[in-house]
Amino acid sequence: MKFAIALFAAPHLPASRRALRFAQAALAGGHEIVRLFFYQDGVHSAASNVVSPQDELDLPKEWREFVTSNGLDAVVCIAAALRRGVLNAEEAQRYSRPAANLEAPWELSGLGQLHEAAQQADRLVCFGGS
């Protein structure tokens, strides 16, 4: 089965951990993930400057390692990211901000990427949101 996964929740919320565990289980079960899409507060899971408390799971790090080790297509919604101060080098320069905090393996793009993923997948599974 082909999955598209959308994460709407911030990294400190249980939905973010559930999304990661679901994605790991899907691949372990022989399924395919056509795209991971980070939207709303889920964009914080892609920020490279998030620091998790030492006694908690570092979910942004876990996501980054999972995406990288599996060569997954991981898209961060550009509108949600800009609104929350999550910028790659290009957007930091465009908006004259002092630093970027979004690095590989993440890609900034629009909601069309979520729509396309939903069309390519057998199932769209969403975590978090209101």
Task: Write out the DSSP string of 85-110.
Answer: T---HHHHHHTT-S-----TT-EEE-
- Domain span holding position 87: 2-127
Task: Compute the distance between CA of residue 71 and CA of residue 1 in angstroms, rounded to an integer.
Answer: 18
* 3-class SS string, 18-31: HHHHHHHHHHHCCC
Per-residue pLDDT at 52: 86
Task: Compute the distance between CA of residue 90 and CA of residue 108 in angstroms, rounded to an integer.
Answer: 10
Per-residue pLDDT at 59: 94
Catalytic residue among 34, 47, 77, 86: 77
Q: How far apart are the first and last CA of the chain?
A: 27
Per-residue pLDDT at 112: 97
Domain at 54, CATH number = 3.40.1260.10
Tokens of 89: 């080098």
Residues of the chain with pLDDT under 50: none
Per-residue pLDDT at 125: 98
Domain count of the fold of the chain:
1
Residues with Cβ within 8 Å of 40's Cβ and at least 6 positions away in sequence, in order, are: 8, 9, 77, 80, 128, 129
Residue 77 falls in the annotated catalytic set: yes
Q: At what angle do helices 14-28 and 59-70 cross, to 10 degrees?
A: 20
Task: Compute the distance between CA of residue 96 and CA of residue 81 in angstroms, rounded to an integer.
Answer: 16
Residue keyed to tokens 């939207």:
39
Per-residue pLDDT at 130: 65
